[in-house]
Structure 1
């Protein structure tokens, strides 16, 4: 027996490493050649490229001040011109403008369970409403707000105070408050 057959596992491992190294070099060289031909390597490519600015900014020039009015004003009704059509009557809503209607999605939850609060605030577009909780005979700010969008709002609260909890929302800008909702916790 030749001396190199004493360790067949080592011989097999060395052969495997040698074949892997040879295949890796061939594939790496091929990939390098392909990237150079396609110009992907960032170096010189077979097609010429030019360095042209892609953004054109003209030099600032002074402009003249506007000569006419900046706003288009409607015709003055005192001078005899009347609107071409009658004004449309506003749509009636269930709640009068400025009244906040609040409802709770749940009537009973576990401690720290989610209580969904939704409501309608006609005419309150964009207003931020502060949620308040009734504690010890007084309304106190709860650390949650809701923003009115399309005259509606939605938010949720969580509390660990067991028993009946009362919540409402207040528009601090106008002082308008909603009806209160009662949710049993526990």
Structure 2
């Protein structure tokens, strides 16, 4: 009789043993690559989210207020000493006549005369010569005009903004140019 030797467990399933070894090597290599990547990002400062350094969380963009640019009235003429700019035959002693420039005025209107609490309504208007101006909405409260947390910008000499308030009763609104202080007419909207 031939004596049969007992099989070792690793000889029964060589494929399973190979797969287990392959997975173990893959996990080990993955961990090593992950640790090297993590260490590299820390050294290079590529880690995100930590604002405890010297960086500031304040806004870094500075946007200056819009300013009007002077409009040219024509080509600049430089005269030699003794030359006159008046056409021949005209007296150079005639004084130019002053023309009164039209006064800038902001015209404001509301889309409704009454609204429910926190119902949105529009404030629209015209501001001739106010291109690019920022207008602060104000409400008359406790005997004086108070800034309302809404602004509008002027484009093509017109503006529009939406307003909602829960302050019941008659409300008086106006807009004020933040640069010049010029105020519009007031509009009344009853809330409630």
Instruction: Give TM-score scaled by structure 1 length.
Output: 0.51
Report matched runs for 1:157-176 at 5 Å: 157-176=163-182
The runs of at least 4 consecutive aligned structure 1 residues that moved more than 2 Å come to 72-82
In 1, distance between residues paired with 2:103 and 2:124?
17
Residue ranges of structure 1 left out of the alignment (5+ in a row): 1-71, 83-95
Q: Which of 107, 110, 117 does residue 104 from structure 1 map onto?
A: 110
Q: Which of 137, 152, 159 does residue 143 from structure 2 map onto?
A: 137
The offset of 1:73, in angstroms, is 5.0
The offset of 1:98, in angstroms, is 1.6
State the partner residue of 1:148: 154
Residue ranges of structure 2 left out of the alignment (5+ in a row): 1-73, 88-101
User: Contact between 2:133 and 2:178, CA under 8 Å: does it hold in 1?
Assistant: no
Instruction: Give TM-score scaled by structure 2 length.
Output: 0.49
State the partner residue of 1:4: none
User: Contact between 2:170 and 2:189, CA under 8 Å: does it hold in 1?
Assistant: yes
In 2, distance between residues paired with 1:130 and 1:142?
7
User: Contact between 2:125 and 2:160, CA under 8 Å: does it hold in 1?
Assistant: yes
The offset of 1:140, in angstroms, is 0.4
User: Contact between 2:176 and 2:182, CA under 8 Å: does it hold in 1?
Assistant: yes
In 2, distance between residues paired with 1:76 and 1:181?
51
User: Contact between 1:97 and 1:123, CA under 8 Å: does it hold in 2?
Assistant: no
The offset of 1:156, in angstroms, is 1.1
User: Contact between 2:109 and 2:125, CA under 8 Å: does it hold in 1?
Assistant: yes
In 1, distance between residues paired with 2:159 and 2:104?
14
